[in-house]
């Protein structure tokens, strides 16, 4: 698998995660007859936050993965997979966790994995960028 294909794989899966979360928000609006805001509905509010949180984290992670994919040979393939897998697993666990309760293991582990992906991707980008200068 080529580097850009790896980046495309993680981008595709994470964009579909955003789509699923968006569909759940629309379904919640229809179910609870909410046209604007969250009407104080706790279940619906969690769906909105799950989508919003994913929309806050996924784009930055995908941009980082894309740039890492272009930083050959400074960024190893394992780093693309480690960053992509931890971002993807983290976003799935966090989204499910927010839908099932206010504070639970899925939500917490999801955030830790997301932050781990940011540390891997950010650190990898710094390393790749600096190593090209030396």
* Residue 85 structural domain: 3-131
- The predicted model gives 48-52 an average pLDDT of 93
Q: Quick one: pLDDT at residue 134?
A: 63
CATH number of the domain that residue 109 is part of: 1.20.120.550
pLDDT tens by residue, 94-120: 999 988 877 889 999 999 999 999 999
| Tally of domains in the chain | 1
CA pair distance 3, 77, nearest whole angstrom: 7
What region does 75 belong to: left with phi over 0, alpha with psi -120 to 50, or beta? beta
């Amino acid at each position: 698998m080529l580097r850009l294909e790896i980046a495309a794989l993680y981008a595709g899966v994470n964009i579909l995660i955003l789509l699923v979360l968006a569909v759940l928000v629309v379904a919640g609006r229809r179910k609870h007859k909410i046209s604007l805001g969250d009407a104080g509905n706790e279940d619906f509010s969690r769906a909105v936050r799950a989508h919003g949180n994913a929309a806050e984290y996924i784009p930055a992670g995908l941009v980082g993965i894309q740039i890492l994919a272009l930083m050959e040979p400074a960024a190893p393939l394992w780093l693309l997979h480690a960053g992509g897998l931890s971002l993807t697993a983290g976003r799935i666990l966090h989204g499910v966790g927010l839908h099932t309760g206010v504070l639970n293991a899925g939500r917490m582990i999801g955030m830790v994995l997301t932050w781990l992906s940011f540390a891997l991707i950010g650190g990898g980008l710094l390393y790749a960028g600096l190593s090209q200068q030396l």
